[in-house]
Amino acid sequence: MTLGDFKTDRGGHTVRGTGLLLLAFLFWGSSAPLAKYLMVARFDIVIIAQTRVSLSFILLCLFFFFFNRKVFKIDKKDLWHFVILGVAGLAVTNYTYYFTVKESTVATAILIQYTAPLWVVLAAVYVTKEESLNLMITVALVTALFGCYCAVSGGRASVIQLHGWTWLTGPVSAFTFAFQIIATKHLLKKYSLWTVILYMFGFASLFWLFINPPWVIASKMYTLNDWIIFWIFAVVSILIPQSAFAAGLKWLKASTAGIIGTMEPVVAITVAYFLLGESLHPIQIAGGILVVVAVTMLQIHPLIQDKRI
């Protein structure tokens, strides 16, 4: 392979990975306002967090049981990696994020959770030492975080409304989301996309069965329409986006994926503007543009990421 071929291949992988991540954040960003509505109007946080992952797990199990049972095979020594990823990386992230959404505001929850790219970069550089700090990542990270803040807050610090337990759940959602990115990336080096997704969903579902067992769910007497809502929300809020996210993560560095993740808040405020009639101020538009600029920077010169500052 020539250097020119390497550049083309590297760039192609970057574009492919970015496209998959953008698809994931399109679904995640669009489902955030819907989750807020469901929790305020009808359902508690636990059942929303539980059904979205458990129903998705059931769908995956049924599909791969009949079409590809190889995805169920893992080394026993890696079992605890999947347990921690499913419980801490997915179940805890979901619950703490939705708790912050319900008890505070969507803007507050998103702003805090999307400090995760900073923790991903620091962990990748100084903890796992799998990446080196470089000019592209540094500039893109700062641009993306500032753009995310402007897009969600409109430049108003008062938009961050933490009180009570949200002082804990907000930061925890950011740290566990960062862990999810790093741990998923690590497991994808050894296992297929679907094996990682399946076991992550599976152990998250098992965790929720202890927290909210079937007989407690049955006592709530959810209607057929309720379960239809649960199934649809599961597919659009986690099955599709989590699969796209993991697929894109195979082609990208963890730090790059984290930075691209700041597109989700931009999607969320855009959806809220068009579907819910929420206001969209010039500084929010400018913030969205900054996030797009940061993501674009990571596409134009992917090889720059390999140069140390």
pLDDT in tens, 44-89: 888 988 999 999 999 999 999 999 999 999 998 999 999 999 999 9
What is the per-residue pLDDT for 206? 96
DSSP state of 155: T
Is residue 5 packed enough to be buried (19+ CB in 10 Å), middle (13-18) or exposed (0-12)?
exposed
What is the per-residue pLDDT for 301? 53
Query: For residue 116, which of 182, 38, 59, 189 has the smallest C-alpha distance?
Result: 182
What is the per-residue pLDDT for 303? 44
Tell me how far apart the alpha carbons of residues 299 and 263 are, in angstroms, rounded to a whole number: 14
Q: Please report which helix (H) or strand (E) contains residue 193, including its range.
A: helix 193-211
Q: Which residues of the chain have pLDDT under 50?
A: 1-9, 303-309
Query: For residue 270, which of 280, 260, 255 has the smallest C-alpha distance?
Result: 280
What is the per-residue pLDDT for 1? 35
What is the per-residue pLDDT for 164? 79
Question: Using alpha carbons only, what angle is made at residue 92 by residues 86 and 94, rounded to the nearest 5 degrees?
Answer: 95
Is residue 137 packed enough to be buried (19+ CB in 10 Å), middle (13-18) or exposed (0-12)?
buried
